[in-house]
């Protein structure tokens, strides 16, 4: 009888630990990183109004258990993002939104340089089995047709090559709208960030679905 009681107690303790582990795993948030420039970093906005913060809030409001890290650096080019990739995207990251290239475009950098840097970012993230959503950028009209023709296709081509998700234009619905941009005409206001979040949200949900599917295939 004593041995049976001890065995029952041990079994009960084991089941308790097992179930606790399951609960903790279920409650572990999916970690997303926004690797970007000033557009996602929240230039001239309070921290609570930055794109990653608002995106996390919108996702949690829809029931997603996520943490969205702000790895945006004002002034960063695609090459700058590549240089800091390893420490900006730590181990444990499940998905990355790559929002880079706007500064390359504004500086008129050779699109081939931008393409090489972005491709290396996406390739390395893919090798790490991190799901990727590429946020595209468009060229300003004054840069000419030739520049736009070399720059804008970078994003869909990389998405196709690496089977990454694509949101064609990060500033969709915001660009050139004075009411949604700061005085510089380049950076979104808080209301502008809300528009960006609303536009990209379905793609981010698709990104999370990819993370969940991959996790199930790996057995959790």
Could you say which of 37, 76, 88, 187 is catalytic?
Answer: 187
- Name residues of the chain where pLDDT drops below 70: 1-26, 220
Residue 169 is inside which H or E element, if any?
A: none
Instruction: Output the CA torsion sign for 26, 51, 99, 59.
Output: positive
Question: What is residue 203's predicted lDDT score, i.e. its pLDDT?
Answer: 98
Question: What is residue 18's predicted lDDT score, i.e. its pLDDT?
Answer: 41
Question: What is residue 220's predicted lDDT score, i.e. its pLDDT?
Answer: 54
72 within 8 A of 40, measured Cβ to Cβ = yes
Question: What is residue 95's predicted lDDT score, i.e. its pLDDT?
Answer: 98
CA distance 111 to 15: 58
**Active site (annotated) includes residue 194:** no
**CA count, 13 A, side-chain hemisphere, 164:** 32
Could you say which of 38, 40, 79, 88 is catalytic?
Answer: 38
Question: What is residue 22's predicted lDDT score, i.e. its pLDDT?
Answer: 39
CA distance 2 to 48: 59
125 within 8 A of 132, measured Cβ to Cβ = yes
**Active site (annotated) includes residue 79:** no
| Domains within the chain, CATH numbers bracketed | 29-217 (3.40.50.1110)
For the chain, how big is the Rg over CA atoms in Å? 21
Question: What is residue 4's predicted lDDT score, i.e. its pLDDT?
Answer: 53
Could you say which of 12, 177, 184, 194 is catalytic?
Answer: 184
Give the relative orientation of helices 190-217 and 51-61 as an angle to the nearest 10 degrees.
60
Question: What is residue 27's predicted lDDT score, i.e. its pLDDT?
Answer: 72
pTM score above 0.85? yes
Question: What is residue 26's predicted lDDT score, i.e. its pLDDT?
Answer: 54
**Active site (annotated) includes residue 86:** no
Q: What is the DSSP letter of 180?
A: G
Question: What is residue 202's predicted lDDT score, i.e. its pLDDT?
Answer: 98
Question: What is residue 11's predicted lDDT score, i.e. its pLDDT?
Answer: 45
């Amino acid at each position: 009888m004593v041995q049976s009681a001890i065995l029952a107690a041990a079994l009960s303790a084991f089941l308790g630990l097992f179930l606790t582990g399951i609960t903790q795993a279920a409650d572990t948030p999916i970690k997303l990183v926004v690797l970007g420039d000033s557009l996602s970093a929240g230039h001239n906005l309070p921290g609570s109004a930055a794109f990653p913060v608002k995106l996390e809030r919108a996702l949690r409001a829809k029931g997603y258990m996520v943490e969205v890290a702000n790895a945006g650096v004002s002034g960063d080019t695609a090459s700058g993002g590549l240089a800091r990739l390893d420490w900006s995207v730590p181990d444990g990251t499940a998905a990355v939104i790559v929002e880079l290239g706007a500064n390359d475009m504004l500086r008129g950098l050779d699109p081939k340089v931008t393409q090489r840097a972005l491709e290396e970012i996406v390739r390395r993230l893919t090798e790490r089995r991190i799901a990727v959503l590429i946020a595209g950028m468009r060229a300003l009209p004054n840069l000419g047709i030739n520049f736009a023709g070399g720059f804008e296709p970078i994003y869909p081509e990389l998405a196709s090559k690496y089977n990454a998700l694509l949101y064609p234009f990060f500033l969709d619905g915001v660009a050139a709208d004075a009411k949604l941009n700061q005085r510089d005409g380049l950076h979104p206001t808080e209301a502008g960030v809300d528009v960006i979040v609303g536009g990209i949200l379905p793609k981010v949900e698709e990104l999370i679905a990819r993370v969940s599917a991959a996790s199930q295939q790996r057995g959790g």
